[in-house]
Amino acid sequence: MKLEGKSVFGGIAIGKCKVYGKKESFVKRNKVVDTASEIKRFSQAKEQAKGQLAQLYEKALKEVGEANAMIFEVHQMMLDDLDYVESITNMISTQGINAEFAVAATGDNFAEMFAAMDDDYMRERAADVKDISNRVISILQGDQNQGDLGKEPVILLADDLAPSETVQLDKSKVLSFVTRHGSTNSHTAILARTMNIPALIGVDFHEDADGQIGIVDGKQGIFIIDPSEEEIAHYSKLKKQDEDRARLLQELKGQESVTKDGKAIQLYANIGGVGDVASVLANDAGGIGLFRSEFLYLESSDYPTEEQQFKAYRTVAENMAGKKVIIRTLDIGADKQVDYFGLDKEENPAMGYRAIRICLDRKEIFKTQLRAIYRASYYGKIAVMFPMVISVDEVLQAKEMCQQVKEELKAEGVPYSQVELGVMIETPAAVMISDLLAKEVDFFSIGTNDLTQYTLAIDRQNPKLDDIYDSHHEAVLRMIQMVVDNGHKEGCWVGICGELGADISLTETFLQMGIDELSVSPSMILPVRDQIRKSGALR
């Protein structure tokens, strides 16, 4: 049986399923005579719960770091919340009821209040208040709140998991978890990702899955119960590949991307949005060599505002903590169409109205983006590169726009930092005048995808031409060499951000050419670093 869900962490797990029988605290309403003693009993249970949470904080601090351990400090503070405590003590004293029932009723009331709020963050707190309430109730009832997972590692199935439960789980016994409820923004999801536990939410599994073999495909958001032999073989192979990458990560994380000859290469990652930064950091990239800013436009129903763009660029810059972030300015057109741009249908859009051509024609769009980028530069190390350039005049116009933006921001008292300017070399024209372009910019980044199709006159999206589409074509390699030589003569550093940068069969060739930087998909950072460290014989 194949079920679909939403991925929290994209790993793969194969093993026996166990339905996590989270014990629901059945709380009876009982009358009490000595309400003062009952309030004291609640207070003692609350302090004991805070002690447990303090221990969980220390455990989480070691396992997942301070930022992710903070939830347990938040839970301690929630237990001391005056409104929460007064609600419980007031119910005990005025209604003469037992502490367990007062805590359960207050927990339910507060959870409903949070769940009804028009704010994602506050809605997530509904689970937190139920979690702390259940913890206090368990202590009052003398129950143990840790589930027994048994002796063998399992795929854990649950209706939902509270953050405290996730941390308390013996990770050596958990292959993955699958829940019916929860959200990708909850603390539990964040902890799961940080712990590297493959996880799915929103999966409508049945209780009879308990004890059956299951497969969790966190990449595709699929949960398979009672898989066939073919499915097990297929996913076992994928899992082995993941394990090989994990081994590589342990060996290469923190290592420099340096050849045997001592040549250091900047190894950066390509991203399409803010959400990709976690993968960049997890794979230990030295920076971001290509931030495809057009995804901000593709994912929006209208032109993204300066503020929206600024927040995205700033978030990435801050998360990269001083590592370089190269933002490619808007590259709409060709295969990336956006309805609200109102672009005309073209016979050959790959060679049509796109990228820098749109930006220099619709300057208000370009200026909005540049203002957002320069504002964000104050919060990190940002560089900008212009795509689809074919002339020096285009670069001069773009630089003039940058200068205007800087002068405006300075006049407004808005801080910004130094921003490197670069050109994407992806047209034969840019290659042939790269000696002239190099006088105007700080760096070149070679977009081998477009450069190859324009050089070979082959549409790279036409499957009929796959057999003759040769990214290793001597013409393409000679062009790359020409760009490197011309760039270096004028003091420009030169990188590759196209798919060819991740082709490890060419890594040593690129190093011999004198390439300074390679920018690849996050998953290819470590394999390329491995290849760099094995390479030598620089020219």
Catalytic residue from among 17, 75, 187, 402: 187
* Contact call for residues 69 and 40 (beta carbons, < 8 A): no
The residues near 522 (Cβ < 8 Å, ≥ 6 apart) are 269, 270, 271, 276, 279, 280, 282, 283, 285
> Cβ(199)–Cβ(178) under 8 Å?
yes
- Find where tokens 């938040």 sit: 74
For residues 445 and 383, is the Cβ–Cβ distance under 8 A? no
Rounded to 10°, the helix 392-412/363-376 angle is 60
User: Cα 479 from chain centroid?
Assistant: 34
**CB-CB neighbours of 66 under 10 Å:** 10
Q: Residue 6 pairs with which residues in a beta bridge? A: 201
* Residue linked to tokens 């790269």: 434
- 497 catalytic, yes or no? yes
Rounded Cα distance between 308 and 271, Å, is: 18
Nearest to 156 by CA among 250, 342, 20: 20
Which residue in this structure is represented by tokens 């006088």?
439
Is 473 catalytic? The answer is no
Using CB atoms within 10 Å of the CB of residue 428, give its burial: 0 to 12 exposed, 13 to 18 middle, 19+ buried: middle
* Distance in angstroms (rounded) separating the CA atoms of residues 395 and 217: 46
Dist. CA 72–CA 186, nearest whole Å: 14
Of the candidates 17, 359, 492, 497, the residue annotated as catalytic is: 497
Sheet holding 6-9, edge to edge: 2-4, 222-225, 213-217, 12-19, 154-158, 174-179, 199-201, 6-9
Catalytic residues, which ones? 187, 497
